[in-house]
Structure 1
Amino acid sequence: MQRLIGLLLVACLAGGVSSCATQGSASKSQSPLPAARQQLVTDLSQCTKTFGYDPNNLTGMAENQLAPREIEWRQCGYDAVRRYARSQPTLTGLYDQLINEDITMTNAVQAGTITRSQRRQRIEALISELKSAEERQVQVTAIKQEEQMERVRQVVEGMRGLR
């Protein structure tokens, strides 16, 4: 399913929001991110069911043309990504950039001025940036949680002296 997310953002925002794939177990249990990721996968699957377009299963399409219902699928995918981006407010700008560039490049594919492969390449690069940014954010959150736990431990230890 993460590959489907991937192909949202590479072949229809389709490529790899599996960009949002790994994080430590400590932060998983305390973060809304895993649930948001699963919702993104579910939303993208629903887009595929609704519009009958599957970016993972394209055959016989010219490199410089759009598939039937692709634009509708992409709009649905953009909405799904925007909802997901709400779980990552500090990264909203990168998600907006991903969507805006995908829209621009999709128009260029439709006009025949770039190919699907060229669009896919650029989207994959943006997804890679997003993945790195999310991983950094997860690490920062984990460090902050550890620092908070250490402060709590220090308070508890200090209060034990009051006995």
Structure 2
Amino acid sequence: MKFVYISSFKNSQLSWFLYHWQSRPYVKYKSRFCIFTSEEPEIMKTDIQHCRELGVTGIVLGILTTGNQIDIERTRELVELAHPMQVTFHKAFDETPDYRQALEDVIAAGALRILTSGTKSTATEGSEILNEMIAQASGRIKIVAAGKITSENIDKLSKIINTNEFHGKRIV
């Protein structure tokens, strides 16, 4: 699975790239993780519709409230709009104050995956929490381990983290 970080789909070359490489675009707004303007959700909706029209199979997104909680309502709305694309909730998850509650909130919002380093800077540091999350999820959602995963440490991490989904810029 490849992730592409973008903020708006106005570029035909990007559209070609997404279609031919089966990447999962990161549908993002200008603010860090919280929505601060009324235009931002509409831009995200337009981007999601564009992805669906292109035949993209999955997207990455994540919205928090100003208190760093999962914005369940807005996330659910975008997940429903994205259907049948698969939705991964991005590393905004790691900014939440209670990962156990955040996990339940993302499940309630309907995402199929969470991209996380287990609330730590790296997947190695967060491996215990990642395993706790995987156990708590109990098959209801997939946990994608992320955070400084490379070709040098993927074998070790795959032995200590109970997932088969990893994300890293330098894995291959």
Same fold (TM over 0.5): no
* Structure richer in strand, relative to its length: 2
* Structure richer in helix, relative to its length: 1
TM-score w.r.t. the length of structure 1 is 0.27
Q: Which has the larger radius of gyration?
A: 1
TM-score w.r.t. the length of structure 2 is 0.26
